[in-house]
Amino acid sequence: MEVPTTPSAGGDRTGEEGGGGGWFGRSPAASPAAPRPPRPDVHQPVPEAVRPYVREPAPASVHPYGHEPASSPLHQDGRQSSPSPGRPSSGPVRPAEGRPAAGAGPVPGRAASRDSSDTALLRRTMAEIEPIADKVTSYFYAQLFLRHPDLRALFPAAMDVQRDRLFKALLTAATHADDTAALTAYLDRLGRGHRKYGTLPEHYPAVGEALICALSRHAPSSWGPRTEAAWVSAYTTISQIMIDAATADELRAPAWWQAEVVGHEMRTPDIAVVTVRPDQPYPFLAGQYTALETPWWPRVWRHYSFASAPRSDGVLSFHVKAVPAGWVSNALVHRARPGDVIRLGAPTGSMTVDHSTDNGLLCLGGGTGIAPIKALVEDVAQHGRHRSVDVFYGARRSDDLYDIETMLRLQQSHSWLSVRPVVDDSPVGLLSGGLPGAVREYGPWHTYDVYLSGPPGMIRRGVDTLLGIGVSTHRIRHDSIEELVGAAT
């Protein structure tokens, strides 16, 4: 299935490792990148290099981008300080930090009471660029590739999916800098996942340079020395966490696995079950997912969930639906054949079964979302604990229930398993009205752990239905909706 899975009802990240290309690598060199000459097309003077990324914040007298800020990055009252003596002035004069320019409207997201914390400064910048996010993202990549053209080769030829994911992931991390636990978990995953892109240490300062350049140009009302210092500090923290995660992961696992296609079965004209054998042991858990890259579209990676629990022979299966203009999905469905070799990223995701409890499992799978649901059922069976598992398998038409025979065979083999097919336009004998409506007819489910996998609309409606019938948020696990929107290619 071409989606990742996450452990929470609200979804967590994301978007982090689904697209092709990468800009975070392993631990950077101990010395700062060499400064580059300023570009004439930049709106204002921008920092040209990033110092080594260390946990300690840079002292006030030494700016991480190679020049002295007008004021210390900490414990300010939010007002703009006077320029440093002797510092030449270039570029347009900016308004006081956090204040709109003359004649400008109110700054988006400005709180009634002034909050001068770093997190507040980051979020003010985010609020200001939100209405022009596409423009800022394009400028970010333009600066990155203009200043560092050698990095373009690390990205896929088409930047449609990657363009939004990369910049969004960085901004998401920066604006959650005050939530250490969530930030670390998010960045650990990104750091490990970006190993497969082949990034190098010097990419960290290159990305930081492009980020500051894009934000300073497009957020004039909220930008200033303190805001710049806040973003530099946030990026320093982000980099260090990712560096540590990548370094630790390098000791345990390769950056990617080669896997030979050993089976290719067409279930419908546009859905195939693709089976591969990795070139070395590939440890994973049922309910997790990975990223796949085909030889026909280098540097383009897409997420797919494992369609079975770990097997003794080590082979892995994926359910792939070809979608219009989907590079990876069409290659896997219509082009891949036994003997072809693809690449796998590391397994990830937390939509897994807690085997320390006997809670029942309620599983909702729509379309190819049945793939990780089937893996969870197999996982319960392998552990030998009899616990109630109720599966609702949804599709638009009965012909789209491509794996129903497999699921019904599992039901015949296990008395604790119930499988109910649901179609939108139901013939006699099947539930109709969609998965959320069908779930309401059964239950109660408030003591069950719930797993949802399928299209974004199904996930949203399913979560709303579950919450409405009394299922607690902490019991609900589902695919990341942000990734679902962008991963179907």
pLDDT > 90 in the chain, percent: 46
Q: Are 412 and 423 in contact (CB under 8 A)?
A: no
At residue 31 the predicted structure's pLDDT band, cuts being 50, 70 and 90, is very low
At residue 113 the predicted structure's pLDDT band, cuts being 50, 70 and 90, is low
At residue 43 the predicted structure's pLDDT band, cuts being 50, 70 and 90, is very low
Residues 450, 453: Cα–Cα separation, whole Å: 10
Residues 329, 343: Cα–Cα separation, whole Å: 14
Q: How far is CA 160 from CA 21, 156, 169, 298, 390, in A?
A: 12, 9, 15, 15, 38
204-234 pLDDT tens trace: 888 899 999 999 999 999 999 999 999 999 8
At 390, list the tokens: 């109720």
Task: Name the range with the highest mean pLDDT among 146-155, 188-197, 235-244, 282-291.
Answer: 282-291
pLDDT at 174 over 70: yes
- Residue of higher predicted confidence among 487 and 146: 146
At residue 349 the predicted structure's pLDDT band, cuts being 50, 70 and 90, is confident
Q: How much of the chain is helix, strand and coil, in % rounded to 5? A: 35, 15, 50
Residues 135, 116: Cα–Cα separation, whole Å: 27
Other residues' Cβ atoms within 10 Å of the Cβ of residue 324 = 9
Nearest Cα to Cα of residue 422 among 377, 448, 454: 454
Q: What's the chain's average pLDDT?
A: 77
At residue 455 the predicted structure's pLDDT band, cuts being 50, 70 and 90, is confident
Residue 350, pLDDT score: 85
Residue 260, pLDDT score: 98
Which of the residue ranges 28-42, 163-177, 274-288, 356-370 would you say has the lowest mean pLDDT?
Answer: 28-42
C-alpha angle 256-257-262 in degrees, rounded to nearest 5: 150
Other residues' Cβ atoms within 10 Å of the Cβ of residue 274 = 25
Residue 373, pLDDT score: 97
Burial 290-301 (b: 16+ CB within 10 A, else e): bbbbbeebebbb
50-107 pLDDT tens trace: 333 333 333 333 333 333 333 333 333 333 333 333 333 334 444 445 444 444 444 5
Between strands 476-479 and 5-6, the pairing is antiparallel
